Amino acid sequence: MKCSEFLKELTDYLDGEIDERTKAELEEHLQWCHNCYVVCNTTQRTIEIYRDSKLYELPDDLRTRLRSAIITKCQGHKNATPER
Count other Cβ atoms within 10 Å, centred on residue 20: 7
Is 24 a binding residue for other proteins by CB under 8 A? The answer is no
Of 19, 32, 53, 61, the one binding other proteins by CB under 8 A: 53
Q: How many residues bind other proteins (CB under 8 A)?
A: 44
Is 1 a binding residue for other proteins by CB under 8 A? The answer is no
Is 42 a binding residue for other proteins by CB under 8 A? The answer is yes
DSSP code per residue over 37-68:
HHHHHHHHHHHHHHHTS-TT---HHHHHHHHH
Is 78 a binding residue for other proteins by CB under 8 A? The answer is yes
Closest listed residue to residue 18, CA positions, set 48, 26, 51, 43: 26
Is 31 a binding residue for other proteins by CB under 8 A? The answer is no
